[in-house]
Structure 1
Amino acid sequence: MPDSFETDLFRAAAGCLAAREPAEKMRLTREAATAFAEGRLQPTGNDPVTPIDEPGRPEQPILVAPRNLAQRGLGTDEGRAALVHAVAHIEFNAVNLAWDAVYRFRDMPAGFYADWVSVAADEARHFAMLEERLAELGHRYGDFPAHNGLWEMAKKTADSCLNRMALVPRVLEARGLDVTPGMMARLQSTGDTRTVAILDIILAEEVAHVAAGSRWFEWCCQRAGIDPAETFDTLLRTHCRGVVRGPFNRTARLAAGFSVEEMARLDTLVA
């Protein structure tokens, strides 16, 4: 790792965010996570927090509106590669989101940074698995268009850790808990057991990532003296109308820290 990263976790996070090429971003993420686990990085730096901007990303993929993404069937290698690419793009963004949480929110307990550094490392490993699978299907990351919805929500929540925890891991990333089992079933029907095995690993670990969002959302609500379920419902109705869709993977969401009351409120939102 560069010398400037050796003790300052916030500076390391900024470096991981700024890296443009996937291989460099994932390498820096692995090294930063290792250094943090070994106690060589601490959240004690005092560099000013810069306004949120676009993270480092390669020139490809081209970013388009979600409605402009082509829908491909899974009966061909091309269609399966497009699906793998879409998930890889989510994981690439998730690496940036985890590091931005570490970098941006400076007044949090030590456990917050431990959680999101660990998430960044997991997401980098997920991206690597998907990138390898793309290569097996004759493609690479950047070959298909993608959308920027995750990062757009990061921009909207840059000034509030409470809002970020509510609306990124507990809304956008939690959507993966709902849709991944269906993707796995469709891929299984085509005989693509290799991709199914990767998605099975990702699904299990994403439960813990959404749970981290739930944990720190509740912590932020307690600090603010507000009710988590009511606050989550208000944020959804203010910022996410048309974004939240069912059906929900209730088992996974409950395991990821959603309360029974929150699930009931989600049901009324999509009814």
Structure 2
Amino acid sequence: MNITPPIEFLLFSLSDTPSLRLPLFTFFLLIYLITLYGNIMMSSVIALNPRLHSPMYQLLWIFSLMDFSFSSTTVPSMLATMLSQEAIISLPSCIAQVFFFHAFGNSENLLLSVMAYDRYVAICNPLRYSAVMSRTTCLTLCSTCCACASLHALLHAMVTSLLDFHHHAHIPHFFCDIPPLLEISPSDTTFNQLLIYTEGSLVALVPSSLTVLSYIRITISILRIHSSTGRQKAFSTCASHLMVFFLFSATAVSMYFRPSSVSSPHKGKREVIVNPIVVNSPNNKLHNEDKGQDSKS
């Protein structure tokens, strides 16, 4: 009786130099703890202070929860991989990580566009702000963002799960994501790539375009303010949000919308794959045995 072994992936660490593993682990752990502390404190302050229950702070509260979940999807596994230098993850767990990574990440992107619209209404139409951005409207927009992001993530996770993978394949990345999985799949990934550049582009670029348009209108309105103090106050309410938006968008574009020859995950990890420490590790014995069986057949 032939029993098909479960498909498992081997994740790689950020560095194969033993002397760098502990400093990198400490550095990223510190950043992760600061991120968690900042999001938890912000969410707690907004939830406990009744004066901060306005739509602007409601959006910030939900964004903090999404950022907390987004970072917790990948960073703990990355830290574990850095300690052990390699980590095995099953196919269902990998697909689940892909889903949550894109669900929370795209929720943040959509929420950034809603926050830009909130600032547009507050600065360009201040007298109508309470009517346009009521609590009900705010919660409806946030729920729509989360639902759309979840559907987008579910679509890509399901399409990725239909691909074929070798048993005990090596993912040249420190967590499961769509581009590395497409890179190691022996299946035809044309449809997956097309989906990224069509549906994925719409999900990413439409809210980004709305954010840019909102800030163009905001900038025009601010420049019409005669008082320099008023202009500075208006700009200060948008500066942090605008900086987060540009950092978020630049990262997403560099990861998913570059040509495959430029953004191939193997470019940064090719030397790791042939590293004797990794190839001769106990976790790779099963992989070597599979290769031997394939050659015999």
Q: Tell me which interval the TM-score lies in, with the shorter structure as reference length.
A: 0.3 to 0.5
Q: With CA pairs under 8 Å and 6+ residues apart, which has the higher RCO, 1 or 2?
A: 2
Q: More strand by proportion, 1 or 2?
A: 2
Structure number, greater radius of gyration: 2
TM-score normalized by structure 2?
Answer: 0.31
Q: More helix by proportion, 1 or 2?
A: 2
